Chains A and B, each alone.
Chain A
């Protein structure tokens, strides 16, 4: 599953660690999601969407 996490984070000038703190996960988790190594669960995807103020579909895209 593709995602726009890195672009959205760059637009807001957030570091991976800042985003990780907001999501209450480790920086490694944010990096794994950004690089497509790990697809988050639905609850975490909703948390990510909430942090960016977007819907899940605006962040995560079909392959």
Chain B
């Protein structure tokens, strides 16, 4: 059988992986999960803060709203793990892994530098959850950079 016989006839665009949005199905599912986690976070955080601040809930019950507030954020991080196992586009997966490694490096550096600044440099200590905020912010910033790069990649549609 020669090459011409083996060559496939290309589809006319139906069932395309990215559906024109530039996102793979796994990325869309991940975005949906992160959005739901964000909504759950907002829904839990406000009553939790109110409970602790206004109703003077003491220990050990104070841990309940604290843990409940953290759970949606934990779910968001778990979604990243699930995304990596679901993603079938190896290039997109490589981009996300690279983004996660860069964000982790930056967040860890910020945590260590601020730790020494607060211990030795007289700066005020900050809550440890800010490390996660830095990580997420880095994810967003790097995703923006990749999107801008993708728009100027010179490819045809």
A residues apposed to B, CB below 8 Å: 12, 14-22, 24-35, 38, 40-41, 44, 50-54, 58
Contacts and interface: CB of A to CB of B under 8 A. Distances in A.
B16 A33 contact: no
Given A24-B89, A27-B157, A38-B91, 6 more contacts: A18-B12, A27-B18, A29-B91, A31-B154, A41-B90, A51-B7
A22 B7 contact: no
B90 A40 contact: yes
B153 A31 contact: yes
A18 B41 CA distance: 40
B14 to A, nearest CB: 8
A16 B90 contact: no
Contacts of A12: 7
B6 A50 contact: yes
